[in-house]
Homo-oligomer: A and B are copies of this chain.
Amino acid sequence: MSLLVVGTIGIDTVETPAAKRANILGGSASYFAYAASYFTRVSLVGVVGNDFPPAFRDLLAKRDIDLSGLEVAKGETFRWTGKYHENMIDRDTLEVRLNVFGEFNPKVPEASCGAEFLFLANGSPSVQRKVLSQMKKRPKFVAADTMNLWIETARGELDELLREIDALVINDSEARMYTDERELLRAGKMLLKKGPRTIVIKKGEHGALVISADGVFSVPAYPLEEVIDPTGAGDTFAGAIMGYLAAEGNAAPATLRRAVAYGAVVASFTCEDFSLDALKKIERKEIDSRYHALLSMVDIPK
């Protein structure tokens, strides 16, 4: 079934304890769409400036990502510069320039208004809701991401959004902030009460916890010998989940579990290099192979 993502496309400069790279492709929608493309065709709605390198566009197009909703505006592309701490988890944002993204007023192309799976990548909840309102009919499954900024500055609007979506994808620290609960199980249950049927709590190198009316599901991160850059891990995690669900055409509990495991696997590849450099080198078969390794890693024989 059809999948649509709305989010940022950016040019990043990233320093990690491993290395530093300037002017690389970043942004939630780029990462999401690239990951989803291993499972299904995905349409992307976003904006870039007229400085956006053709090579970055080609990279996305090569994976058959539908870029008809990618607006090119006069000005510069969104830019982010960040530096990770020694633990590869905490990071400082050294510079953000919203540029053309500051004026972004997403318009879902006619052809995508009937998408059955929709992902609202991190953005202001009012913009996320505006996208949802453009859909001709309520999609089968809508998921959204958010971040501390919106929890702090737009909580009312975020609460509204939560009443309208099926699943919330959120970091552990943000789930704690949003609910003022230390234990993730309790935070997840509180978020469930706000509306979504499913809360996916991302725990970085510790995997993810999924809390829903159907129960609790826990998946570890796929363990790596070396992490080069965790940027985009969360977005590719979500991209693989939504890509798998759209390909299967449902979000039933068992499908969702497999989807989240695929999410963990694709996120692990993302961490092995900067930008999409590690994903660029792999095909679906490498993902499947690591997926089966993950299955055996969590197996508790009867």
Contact = CB atoms under 8 A, between A and B. Distances in A.
A182 B88 contact: yes
Contact of A216 (B183, B186, B257, B297): B297
A218 to B, nearest CB: 4
A183 B226 contact: yes
Interface string A207-246: 1010000011111100111110000000000000000000
Contact of A299 (B17, B183, B257): B257
Nearest to A187: B225
Interface string A243-269: 000000000001001100100000000
A218 B186 contact: no
Contact of A219 (B216, B254, B300): B300
A299 to B, nearest CB: 7
B217 A186 contact: no
A153 interface: no
A295 interface: yes
Contacts of A185: 223-225
A181 to B, nearest CB: 9
Interface residues of A, number: 36
A294 to B, nearest CB: 8
A300 B209 CA distance: 13
A267 B219 CA distance: 19
A301 B223 contact: no
A94 interface: no
Given A258-B300, A297-B215, A300-B257, A209 B183 contact: no
A206 interface: yes
B301 A257 contact: yes
A257 B258 CA distance: 21
Contact of A226 (B186, B209, B258): B186
Interface of A: 17, 86-88, 182-186, 189, 203, 206-207, 209, 215-220, 223-227, 254, 257-258, 261, 295-301
